[in-house]
Amino acid sequence: MAIEITGRTNSPTPIKTPTKAEVVDVEKRVAVTNTEKTDSVALTITTQEIKKAFGSSSASSVDIDRVNSVKKALADGSYSINAEKVAKKLIQLDKLMPQDNST
């Protein structure tokens, strides 16, 4: 028995590879599309209050004379550190910090 093939055969369709100019054109369109997008930020009430607090603080809240006197004492070596006072403040700060019980 003989098999006859008649009609059209399915030949593979050639695949067109893009040229360098076409690739660059697509990249430009992607870049333009990406730059057209805009980002937005929504601040919570807490964040707005913090921003307002920092914005309202003025240079007068810093005692410039005190800063200058400490700088001078540090420079000439006459600044003394009260270790007990520092330790007490560190303990107070530690008590305010949240405790990590994972250990």
What pLDDT digit, counting tens, does each position of 9-34 carry?
556 666 767 676 666 566 666 555 55
DSSP code of residue 59: G
pLDDT in tens, 31-40: 555 555 677 7
pTM greater than 0.95: no
Share of the chain above pLDDT 90, in %: 28
Cα(9)–Cα(77) distance, rounded to whole angstroms? 97
Which pair of tokens denotes residue 79?
A: 């600044």
The pLDDT value recorded for residue 14 is 66
Domain count, the chain: 1
The answer to the question of residue 43 being in a domain is: no
Domain span at residue 80 reads: 63-96
The answer to the question of residue 54 being in a domain is: no
Which pair of tokens denotes residue 66?
A: 């005190």
